C-alpha cells in the first residue's frame, strides 16, 4: 500500500469536518475523491499533507507515519501537493516557479527542469520566460502540476486541477494524469468534474458532509444510480453553467 488514511477525523479548531475517513492509494493507481461543495475534499488533502493535524486516526505513506508530521517534512518523503488555489507564484516566471518546486534537488538547472516536464506539458517550454501571472487558467494549472512534478513525488495530491476551466481543457488536463502515472507517480485526485475524473481513474470514493458514503472501482461509482443522480449529471451541469467562468 502506498498511501493509507485510516479512520481519520479532522477539522478546523473544534469543528470536525472529516469523520472517520479511510481511503487508500496503491502504487500506480489514480484514485479520485468526488463530493459536493464543502464535503471536505480539500480538508482531506490538507490533512494528508500535514497542513491540518488530524484529531484522530493515522496516515501512512509506505512505511512512513505521516500522521503528526509537518508539510515540509512530508514533502521530503515524496508526497507532492497541488492546492486548489494560489498554486503558482504569479510574479515569478515559469522557469522560476519550476525551480521553487525543485528546491530539494540541488543543482538542477532551469533548462533541465523545463525539459523534464515539457513532454507532458509542451506549453511550459513555450512560455518558459513568461510570468506565471500572465498565463491562462489552463496553463497555470499545468504549471502548478509541473512545479509539483519536478519535486519527483511518488504520489501527487491534486486538488481540483480543472476547477473553472473550459470543458475542452478539463479533458486535456485530466488525460495528462495517465502520462504522469506512466512516469511512476501515483495520484490522489479531488474533483468537482465527477464524470470526467471517474473516467480516467482506477478507483473512487464519494465524500458527503465529511463522511465516506461510497467507494469502489471508478466504473462501479460511475454506474451507481443514486450517485449518478446526485453528483454526476445534475450537480456537474448546474455548477459548471451557473457559477464558473471559462
Ligand atoms: N480554514 C477553515 N476554517 C474553518 N472552516 C473551514 C476552513 N476551510 C474550510 N472550512 C469548512 O470545512 C468544510 C469543508 O470544506 P472543504 O474546503 O474541505 O470542502 P471541499 O469539498 O473542498 O469543497 P469545494 O468543492 O467547494 O472545494 C466547509 O464547511 C468549509 O466551510
Ligand atoms: Mg475544495
User: Model confidence over 2-43: pLDDT tens digits?
Assistant: 999 999 999 999 899 999 999 999 999 999 999 988 999 999
> Tell me, what CATH number does 17's domain have?
3.40.50.300
Helix, strand, coil percentages (3-state) for the chain, rounded to 5, are 40, 25, 35
79 in Cβ contact with 155 (< 8 Å)? yes
- The residue segments making up the domain with residue 208 are 3-243
- Residue-wise pLDDT for 56-66, tens only, equals 999 999 999 99
Distance 92 CA to ligand 2 centre (A): 25
For residue 52, which ligand has an atom nearest its CA? 1
pLDDT value of residue 104: 84
Instruction: Give 163 or 81, the one with higher predicted confidence.
Output: 81
In the predicted structure, residue 204 carries a pLDDT above the cut 90: yes
Q: With a 6 A CB cut-off, is 70 part of the ligand 1 pocket?
A: no
- Distance CA(133)–CA(151), nearest Å, equals 21
Q: What is the pLDDT of residues 90-133, one digit of tens each?
A: 999 999 999 999 988 888 899 999 999 999 999 999 999 999 99
Percent of the chain with pLDDT over 70: 93
If one counts the domains in the chain, the total is: 1
Which residues, other chains included, contact 230 with Cβ-Cβ below 8 Å and sequence gap of 6+? 36
CA–CA separation, 107 and 110 (whole Å):
9
Whether 37 lines ligand 1, by a CB cut-off of 6 Å, is: yes
Nearest CA, atom 11, ligand 1: 38
Amino acid at each position: 500500500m502506498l498511501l493509507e488514511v485510516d479512520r481519520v477525523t479532522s477539522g478546523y479548531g473544534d469543528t470536525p469536518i472529516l469523520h472517520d475517513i479511510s481511503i487508500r492509494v496503491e502504487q500506480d493507481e489514480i484514485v479520485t475523491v468526488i463530493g459536493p461543495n464543502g464535503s471536505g475534499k480539500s480538508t482531506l488533502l490538507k490533512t494528508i499533507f500535514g497542513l491540518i493535524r488530524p484529531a484522530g486516526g493515522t496516515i501512512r505513506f509506505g512505511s512512513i507515519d505521516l500522521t503528526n508530521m509537518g508539510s515540509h517534512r512530508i514533502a521530503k518523503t515524496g508526497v507532492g501537493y497541488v492546492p486548489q488555489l494560489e498554486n503558482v507564484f504569479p510574479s515569478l516566471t515559469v522557469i522560476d516557479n519550476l525551480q521553487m518546486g525543485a528546491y530539494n534537488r540541488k543543482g538542477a538547472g532551469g533548462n533541465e527542469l523545463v525539459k523534464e516536464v515539457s513532454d507532458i506539458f509542451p506549453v511550459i517550454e513555450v512560455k518558459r520566460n513568461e510570468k506565471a501571472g500572465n498565463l491562462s487558467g489552463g496553463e497555470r494549472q499545468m504549471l502548478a502540476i509541473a512545479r509539483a512534478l519536478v519535486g519527483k513525488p511518488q504520489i501527487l495530491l491534486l486538488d481540483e486541477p480543472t476547477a473553472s476551466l473550459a470543458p475542452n481543457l478539463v479533458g486535456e488536463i485530466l488525460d495528462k494524469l495517465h502520462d504522469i502515472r506512466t512516469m511512476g507517480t501515483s495520484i490522489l485526485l479531488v474533483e468537482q468534474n465527477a464524470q470526467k475524473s471517474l473516467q480516467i481513474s482506477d478507483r473512487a470514493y464519494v465524500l458527503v458532509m465529511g463522511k465516506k458514503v461510497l467507494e469502489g472501482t471508478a466504473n462501479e461509482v460511475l454506474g451507481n444510480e443514486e450517485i449518478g443522480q446526485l453528483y454526476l449529471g445534475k450537480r456537474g451541469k448546474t455548477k459548471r453553467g451557473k457559477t464558473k467562468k471559462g
